[in-house]
């Protein structure tokens, strides 16, 4: 089994509980959605080949989905972080926020798209130590920003910069935290089912 997809439900306590959605809004569909929502869903489908469940639920507030998609795209294209580093940040945020859906999704992307070493993704899921110093510093600093609501000390910032990053990368991580917080919290409220693609066996 895919190490990440299996661990997404063992990494947090959420899978052990019998959760029910706090919101009753339905997943939106292209064929029944209003014009603005339909356009967003069609765009997502054209890029991905399917509509992730989290998009379908966030689409109940099209401005929310639109904001998420724009911020996510900007992080991917403009952050200056490598694909591996991007996945480390996104997976770390999702793991810290205990979002099973996004943990599974970013594990899938880490394995199949960014080619993140398995030892790295497993360390994130287990809250262990990443072997490579630069990636370890990125993971640790991202955790600090999430867990302390951005209140990193000068010493912690200095340690992050000493690993080879720049001050602008701190702000890039903030963008990732912002967009992932949107999807993580939405998934908590909707108890979003994990798409088959993200939970599939390898």
Per-residue pLDDT at 177 exceeds 60: yes
More confident residue, 21 or 64: 64
Per-residue pLDDT at 79 exceeds 90: yes
Per-residue HEC secondary structure of 47-114 comes to: HHCCCCHHHHHHCCCHHHHHHHHHHHHHHHHHCCCCHHHHHHHHHHHHHHCCCHHHHHHHHHHHHHCC
Domain boundaries, the chain: 3-10+26-199
Both tokens of residue 85? 């580093």
The HSE-up count of residue 138 (CA atoms within 13 Å, CB side) is 29
Fold of 3-10+26-199: AhpD-like (1.20.1290)
Beta carbons of 141 and 159 less than 8 angstroms apart = yes
Q: How far apart are CA 59 and CA 57, in angstroms?
A: 5
Q: How far apart are CA 45 and CA 49, in angstroms?
A: 5
Per-residue pLDDT at 201 exceeds 70: no
When pLDDT is averaged across residues 164-181 and rounded to a whole number, the result is 98
User: Which pLDDT belongs to residue 36?
Assistant: 94
Over residues 81-109, the pLDDT tens digits come to 999 999 999 999 999 999 999 999 999 99
Beta carbons of 140 and 128 less than 8 angstroms apart = no
When pLDDT is averaged across residues 154-166 and rounded to a whole number, the result is 98
Q: How far apart are CA 27 and CA 7, in angstroms?
A: 26
Mean pLDDT across the chain: 90
CA torsion sign for 184, 185, 188, 193 is negative
Both tokens of residue 200? 């599939």
**What is residue 28's DSSP assignment?**
P
Both tokens of residue 4? 């990440």
When pLDDT is averaged across residues 13-19 and rounded to a whole number, the result is 47
């Amino acid at each position: 089994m895919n190490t990440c997809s299996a661990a997404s439900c063992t990494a947090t306590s959420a899978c052990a509980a019998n959760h029910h959605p706090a919101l009753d809004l339905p997943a939106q569909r292209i064929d029944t959605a209003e014009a603005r929502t339909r356009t967003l869903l069609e765009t997502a489908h054209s890029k991905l080949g399917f509509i992730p469940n989290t998009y379908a639920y966030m689409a109940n507030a099209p401005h929310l989905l639109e904001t998420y998609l724009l911020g996510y795209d900007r992080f991917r294209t403009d952050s200056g972080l490598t694909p591996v580093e991007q996945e480390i940040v996104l997976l770390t945020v999702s793991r810290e926020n205990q979002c099973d859906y996004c943990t599974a999704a970013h594990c899938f992307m880490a394995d199949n798209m960014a080619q993140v070493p398995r030892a790295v993704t497993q360390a994130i899921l287990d809250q262990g130590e990443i072997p490579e110093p630069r990636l370890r510093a990125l993971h640790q600093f991202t955790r600090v920003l999430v867990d302390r609501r951005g209140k990193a000390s000068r010493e912690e910032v200095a340690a992050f910069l000493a690993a080879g990053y720049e001050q602008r990368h701190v702000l890039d991580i903030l963008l990732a935290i912002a967009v992932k917080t949107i999807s993580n919290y939405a998934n908590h409220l909707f108890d979003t089912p994990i798409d088959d693609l993200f939970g599939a066996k390898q």
